[in-house]
Amino acid sequence: MGSAPLTKQRVRELEKFAAQIRLETLKEIKTLGFGHIGGAASVIELLAVLYGEVMNIDPKNPKWPQRDFFVSSKGHAGPSIYAALALKGYFPVSQLATLNQPATNLPSHCDRLKTVGIDMTTGSLGQGASSACGIALGNRLSGIDNKTYLVLGDGELDEGQVWEMALFASHQKLDNLIAFVDENKKQLDGYTKDINDLGDIAAKFAAFGWDAQYVNGKSIEAIHAAILRAQKVKGKPAVIVLDTIKGQGYPFVEEQFSNHHLRFSDEDHRRAAEQIVELETTLAHWEAR
């Protein structure tokens, strides 16, 4: 996949892909009437860059051993991950309407035994971090030249298991592991600074021996440039802390304090419907260019 800086045209294409993911994610959750919309929204630009440009993957051969692996330790971001997978052709987009429904293959949290394209079952916070570390080490021992990409929530960093992983990955010099922290500044029940202040997350990882960057998590260009730099790091794992907003790109979600999980009110349904029309109009304009 792409290893050079993005052209302006490619940035626009990835911004379009992010808008498509955002549209399909909102449709999923609106159809269900509730869901983990806050944290699913704040990683959409990252997903657009990873699935649209960076990761070496083959939707027609999802178990290809040489592929790059993706682990979202914050497994409740599933709705946006499913949207990205469907848009890439892992399964029909129409299947997104079954999110968290009986007998679905798209459960609330990511499950590799149910969803094509999911590399690791996640949702019990902290455990995905260890899983990604194990995948990276296992692939290196097997002589596979690939990357493992890990997504952590900022509230998830309260889990001690994350820091055990950070120490182990550094000790093992896992330069095939690139982690992202979605610093949307909220967790389930409030602001991270009020519940367990994380301070400078990048500095903490750096103290554990990681290469660490802090970037604008709303910018396709900034995310991509940070990944290119992280891919060149040798002898240590890399982390990219993303400055994001919980509910990113959905004004009616961003405005609500408790937006980790929303059960849609009538007003939420109305504003979500308006947002869907806006996104569809924007995408139609892109197609007409």
- Give the integer Cα–Cα distance in Å for 150 and 147: 10
- Here the contacts of 197-202 (C-beta below 8 Å, separation 24 or greater) are 198/154, 198/157, 201/154, 201/157, 201/241, 202/239, 202/241
Residue 132 above 80 pLDDT? yes
Higher pLDDT, 123 or 273: 273
- Give the integer Cα–Cα distance in Å for 162 and 125: 9
**Where do the H-state alpha helices sit in 33-126?**
37-41, 44-49, 78-88
- What is the mean pLDDT of the segment spanning 23-47? 97
Mean pLDDT, the chain, as a whole number?
96
pLDDT digit string (tens) for 229-257? 999 999 999 999 999 999 999 999 999 99
pLDDT digit string (tens) for 73-129? 999 999 999 999 999 999 999 999 999 999 999 999 999 999 999 999 998 999 999
Q: For the chain, which residues make up each domain, given as ranges?
A: 8-288
Which residue, among 151, 158, 239, 160, has the nearest Cα to 192 in the 3D structure?
A: 158
- What is the mean pLDDT of the segment spanning 17-37? 96
Express as a percent the part of the chain with pLDDT over 90: 95
- What is the mean pLDDT of the segment spanning 47-70? 98
Confidence of residue 2 (pLDDT cuts 50, 70, 90): low
Residue 205 above 70 pLDDT? yes
The 3-state DSSP class for residue 216 equals strand
Give the pTM. Answer: 0.96
Residue 44 above 90 pLDDT? yes
The CATH H-level superfamily of 8-288 is Thiamin diphosphate (ThDP)-binding fold, Pyr/PP domains (3.40.50.970)
